Amino acid sequence: MRKKIISFLLMVAGVTGLGFIAPWWVGAPWIVLIAVIFKLKEWEGIRIGGLALGIVSLIAARLMSMNDEAGIISKTGTLLGGLSHQMMMVATLVIALITGMLSGWLGSRIGKAIPSKPDEIV
């Protein structure tokens, strides 16, 4: 349980920190790295990775929506077929959940393939 909480907190902190200095997708390799280091099981990686990236992206989308004085989000929603602010946030959440889940899964699979002892054969 402790491993899950620490990995979740590291994922959230890393994705948040990287979000300030890099594009949004840089959080995905960070989630992969944390899942590899902590050798998360597949379902753990999927749930924790999706939850971490989903929460950070949803909070970021809400903050951007509140501070959107130029109407960029509304204009983007119009270009996507008339999506409202709320639907744009849902779309952001869905993309973040899928990306986080796949990143956690990939990290758990890579972690499983790396032997824990030098003479161990997978």
Within a domain: residue 119? Answer: no
pTM of the model: 0.86
What is the number of structural domains in the chain?
Answer: 1
Residue 46 belongs to domain spanning: 2-113
pLDDT at 57: 93
pLDDT (mean) for 59-88: 83
Q: CA–CA separation, 33 vs 44, rounded Å?
A: 14
pLDDT at 69: 77
Within a domain: residue 44? Answer: yes
Rg for the chain, CA atoms, rounded: 17
pLDDT (mean) for 69-88: 82
Give me the phi and psi of 9, to 5 degrees please: -65, -40
Which among 82, 73, 81, 108 is positioned nearest to 3, based on CA atoms? 108
Contacts of 119 (CB under 8 A, 6+ apart): none
Contacts of 44 (CB under 8 A, 6+ apart): 4, 7, 104, 108
Within a domain: residue 118? Answer: no
Compare 85 and 22 and report the one with higher pLDDT.
Answer: 22
List, for residues 105-120, the tens digit of each pLDDT value. 999 999 999 877 766 5
Within a domain: residue 14? Answer: yes
pLDDT at 122: 53
Residue type at position 71: G
34 pLDDT more than 70: yes
